[in-house]
Homo-oligomer: A and B are copies of this chain.
């Protein structure tokens, strides 16, 4: 798209009440706007990044045979009373309907998904089953000062799986683990993300979190460098050794939870009398797992760990545009005409391009390109106009190459 048509501008100073780096830099770059603590608007560039991350997650969840659905945010109180969580979940936003009923805004959806799936699944033939949604969650947080990493309203992927046996759940639980690592890999977070052992509740010894190393995180994790896994604070208080190899030398680091997976057993299916009919015609409890990834939190984490002093360095798969094309000296008709044709050429090769066609100083264009952080910066300037050469620079490297238009396409495709 042409930058002259983009309504957002980069902003010199983030709001004073914004203390998190990820929100500060994304506000300055024009990706998000702050409406209140933990409440953000996604502007066009930010929405593009969110949609890229959402689609990565969607693809990986579809790849493990999960079916997408979409549940409402409004949850009638009686559903949460059934599991005792109306009073148990301390971050629930609660509200009164004019219909004299009470509602909560969903912070998680076990109480919605379980009775819904119950209406559609009766026989053992219909299990196992996996469903997910990508939907806005709400948490009435007292402190919401970590930007996109802890929102009062935030986009989340929550997946729920239903099984006949514990073994089948265990198997799927591992499949989801692998799918999660694929998501982190595609978001360029794999090298800093640890499978982290957490408290398992009543139904398994451990649950697991996925923790990405960043000083901006709110958690401490204890890493076993032999196994490349970690344990969280709850667990370290019970045992100070690696749960895999028994290693006692654990390294403490600051991290943010970028996913969690949990074996629920029949905790929720019991509450809703959700049984399946087995081969002998007998009712059996359905065994359940749940698996979450915060989309906005992933975006915030990427901004925290992939940046330099000048701005964000978006990984290719989640960047708002792959290429930022800067036309300098836009008063030069010949230069403009050629820049326009390079833009059209890139587009015709299916490359996503943000084309800075504005009549602003070159310095401003360079500064803003670094701040916005697209993976490739192409510069069309007067000094290389005669030779029809384009400057190519990757956002994450220092070298600048001078290439012809033909080479250019190969370089950025």
Contact = CB atoms under 8 A, between A and B. Distances in A.
Interface of A: 5-9, 11, 30, 33, 35-37, 39-44, 47, 50, 65, 67-76, 79, 93-95, 97-99, 101, 103, 105, 112, 116-117, 119-121, 126, 129, 131, 136, 138, 140-142, 144, 152-153
B42 A69 contact: yes
Nearest to A11: B119
Contact of A136 (B42, B47, B136): B136
Contact of A35 (B72, B131, B138): B72
A36 B74 contact: yes
A356 to B, nearest CB: 16
B30 A42 contact: no
Given A50-B70, A72-B153, A116 B36 contact: no
- The secondary-structure label for the interface of chain A is mixed
A85 to B, nearest CB: 16
Given A36-B101, A98-B142, A136 B44 contact: no
A153 B138 CA distance: 14
Nearest to A138: B74
Contacts of A39: 72, 74, 76
A7 B121 contact: yes
B68 A152 contact: no
A44 B61 CA distance: 14
Given A7-B131, A97-B140, 9 more contacts: A5-B67, A35-B71, A35-B72, A35-B76, A43-B69, A44-B69, A50-B70, A73-B136, A105-B105
A116 B8 CA distance: 10
A274 to B, nearest CB: 13
A5 B65 contact: yes
B75 A47 contact: no
A72 B40 contact: yes
Given A7-B129, A39-B72, A117-B7, A95 B97 contact: no
Contacts of A6: 67
Contacts of A68: 44, 47
Contacts of A71: 35, 41-42
Nearest to A70: B42
A112 B73 contact: no
A120 to B, nearest CB: 5
Contact of A75 (B35, B75, B112): B35
Nearest to A95: B95
A397 B41 CA distance: 47
A187 B129 CA distance: 33
Contacts of A120: 7-9, 30, 43
A301 B152 CA distance: 34
A30 B113 CA distance: 15
A214 B376 CA distance: 53
A73 B74 contact: no
A357 to B, nearest CB: 14
Nearest to A130: B7
Nearest to A65: B5
A116 B70 contact: no
Contacts of A30: 120
A56 to B, nearest CB: 17
A308 B140 CA distance: 46
